[in-house]
Amino acid sequence: MQTGLWIGGQWRGTLGEHGEFEVIDPATMETLGHVADGSVEDMAAAIDAADSVHETWAETPARERSVILRRAWELMTEEAEDIARLIVRENGKALPDARNEVAYAAEFFRWFGEEAVRGHGDMRRSPNGQNWIMVTEEPIGISLLITPWNYPAAMATRKIAPALAAGCTAVLKPAAETPLTALAIADLLARAGLPDGVLNIVCTRRAGELVEHALGDPRVRALSFTGSTEVGRTLLSVAARNVVRTSMELGGNAPFVVLDDADLDAAVDGLMVAKLRNGGSACTAANRIYVSDRVADDFVAAFSERMGAVRHGNGLDEGVELGPLVNLATQQKVADLVDAAVGAGATVSVGGGSEGLPGYSYRATVLTDVRPDADILRHEIFGPVAPIVRFKDDAEAVALANDSEFGLISYLYTRDLDRGLAVSRRLKSGMVGLNRGVVSDPAAPFGGVKQSGIGREGAAEGMREFLEMKYTAIPYR
């Protein structure tokens, strides 16, 4: 298990005074390890390392970059079980979720390894016939990558792979709750043949200070951030000082809409995934469940039965479907949201509380009698709680679904494809799961509208976040 900072191809301790910080297993509350607590000096050293090789990496033939990324995919696939178990131990999620995450994370290496060799740019002719317009795309430069704890592997590879494929060097700052997975990925990339200094990792307990320093360094030209809208807003203003290109994958508050003609079995299956994947700690988690009045009784009965049967426990144990939340603050936040909802008239029809469960767990919970203006619908729950609201017709469903400052993803269930596409078009979100409880795919442009973000990750679009367009004027002959 690597626990140092990864800078310039060396594992090392911090240059600062803080030494190390603890990483806790949220199921047992035991210390999993101690990780070097990076300082501003370490961040500066990481940027120096990225700077020292940025020209050679940008000039490295795309095929060579591609081969390294492909090798990283192979290694991650071969070592998937070990990485999945490490994720469970530092994050708490159930092992099946962690295995899915590793497969998804590895795919970004394969996908962007393939994208790396696709030529970008074109040649156009000026309308007056006096000029050729040559458009090329170049690596934007040193990129700062910041990731959250909920998908410690996938959120890292979703940034690292396109940045490296585009020819950029990078510094990654993983979440302090889950640094070990990021360090394991650095180790894997080194074994895949990534030259020293191309990727650097600085873990820290003082994210704000280090990131502010990095964004003040004129050599850093891109910021790719995944995390909460609140922190994203702050970083947008910090990045504005040096006019740094920003790519923001922020919070979600996904509506899950069940129309009156939906296949209810499929909708329940879809909601189980959309709600419980990653223990509910996903930006794509179904957060507000809107069900047509005409089918609500049957739907709630079937969904409640499934939620009541969920197997809780330590995420590493065989058969466990739902592990603990990441820390005490998250557990407390979920409990407070449920208590407030009940205080405002909601009914706990299944679950509620944490009694008898390990670590920072919270029971899979269904809330009914939730009013459309209930406070819980305004918050990203980030836990296994499903508040259900009834609606009368499609127009009301769309209005309720769109009543949020977030717009990452919406889910919609109907048997009628025309109706589904008509309603999807009116949903204000960057992604729609139409009769699907999961949409994540490395080949798809992932991202949100409104306060859920700026830019896209995955697909060809994910690499453009790390490319800069250049126009060269050439006299026409």
- Distance of alpha carbon 123 from alpha carbon 193, whole angstroms: 34
Q: Cβ(23)–Cβ(175) under 8 Å?
A: no
| Binding residues for ligand NAP restricted to 370-389, rule: CB under 6 A | 380
249 assigned to active site: yes
Instruction: Find the part of the chain contacting ligand NAP (CB under 6 A) among 22-30, 133-141, 248-256, 459-467.
Output: 248-256
Judged by CB, which is closer to ligand NAP: 283, or 357?
283
b/e for 381-391, b at 16 or more Cβ within 10 A? bbbbbbbbbbb
Q: How many residues bind ligand NAP (CB under 6 A)?
A: 29
Q: Is beta strand 220-226 parallel, antiparallel or unpaired with respect to 142-146?
A: parallel
Structural tokens at position 436: 């699907």
CB 146, min distance to ligand NAP, A: 5
CB 93, min distance to ligand NAP, A: 13
Q: Cβ(335)–Cβ(384) under 8 Å?
A: no
**H/E element, 12:** strand 10-12
| Binding residues for ligand NAP restricted to 409-448, rule: CB under 6 A | 448
145 binds ligand NAP (CB under 6 A): no
Judged by CB, which is closer to ligand NAP: 194, or 408?
408
Please report the beta strands in 369-446, taking only residues with DSSP state E, as ranges in sequence order.
385-391, 406-407, 409-413, 431-434
Structural tokens at position 210: 């280090």
CB 112, min distance to ligand NAP, A: 16
Structural tokens at position 437: 């409880």
Contact with ligand NAP (CB under 6 A) among 76, 144, 145, 250: 250
244 binds ligand NAP (CB under 6 A): no
Instruction: Find the part of the chain contacting ligand NAP (CB under 6 A) among 46-54, 110-118, 206-214, 297-305.
Output: 206-214
CB 341, min distance to ligand NAP, A: 19
Instruction: Find the part of the chain contacting ligand NAP (CB under 6 A) among 13-21, 183-191, 221-229, 309-317.
Output: 221-229
Closest CA to 327 of 185, 148, 203, 204: 148
Summary count for the chain: helices (H), strands (E): 15, 22
Judged by CB, which is closer to ligand NAP: 65, or 456?
456
Q: Cβ(279)–Cβ(383) under 8 Å?
A: yes
| Binding residues for ligand NAP restricted to 223-242, rule: CB under 6 A | 226-228, 231, 234-235
Place of tokens 């767990």: 361
Judged by CB, which is closer to ligand NAP: 75, or 87?
87
Judged by CB, which is closer to ligand NAP: 222, or 300?
222
Q: What single-letter amino acid sits at 407? A: G
CB count in 10 Å sphere of residue 371: 14
Return the residue nearest ligand NAP (CB atom): 227
CB count in 10 Å sphere of residue 67: 16
262 binds ligand NAP (CB under 6 A): no
CB 242, min distance to ligand NAP, A: 15
Q: Cβ(140)–Cβ(159) under 8 Å?
A: no
CB count in 10 Å sphere of residue 284: 22
Judged by CB, which is closer to ligand NAP: 232, or 352?
232
Cα dihedral: 125, 128, 130, 131 (round 10): -30
Q: Cβ(156)–Cβ(14) under 8 Å?
A: no
251 binds ligand NAP (CB under 6 A): yes
175 binds ligand NAP (CB under 6 A): yes
Contact with ligand NAP (CB under 6 A) among 35, 146, 376, 377: 146
Structural tokens at position 213: 């320093």
CB count in 10 Å sphere of residue 233: 12
203 assigned to active site: no
CB 238, min distance to ligand NAP, A: 7
Contact with ligand NAP (CB under 6 A) among 38, 162, 252, 407: 252
Judged by CB, which is closer to ligand NAP: 84, or 144?
144
149 binds ligand NAP (CB under 6 A): yes
Interface map 104-143 toward ligand NAP (x if CB under 6 A): ----------------------------------------
148 binds ligand NAP (CB under 6 A): yes
150 binds ligand NAP (CB under 6 A): yes
CB 151, min distance to ligand NAP, A: 6
Tell me the torsion sign for CA atoms 179, 182, 188, 190. Answer: negative
Q: Cβ(270)–Cβ(254) under 8 Å?
A: no
Closest CA to 119 of 105, 108, 134: 134
Would you call 223 helix, strand, or coil by DSSP? Answer: strand
- Distance of alpha carbon 227 from alpha carbon 259, whole angstroms: 31
CB count in 10 Å sphere of residue 299: 23
88 binds ligand NAP (CB under 6 A): no
207 binds ligand NAP (CB under 6 A): yes
Instruction: Find the part of the chain contacting ligand NAP (CB under 6 A) among 144-152, 188-196, 340-348, 360-368.
Output: 144-152
Q: Beta partners for 431?
A: 409
The residues of the shown chain that bind ligand NAP, judged by CB under 6 A, are: 146-151, 155, 173, 175-177, 207-208, 211, 226-228, 231, 234-235, 249-252, 283, 380, 408, 448, 453
Catalytic sites, residue numbers? 249, 283
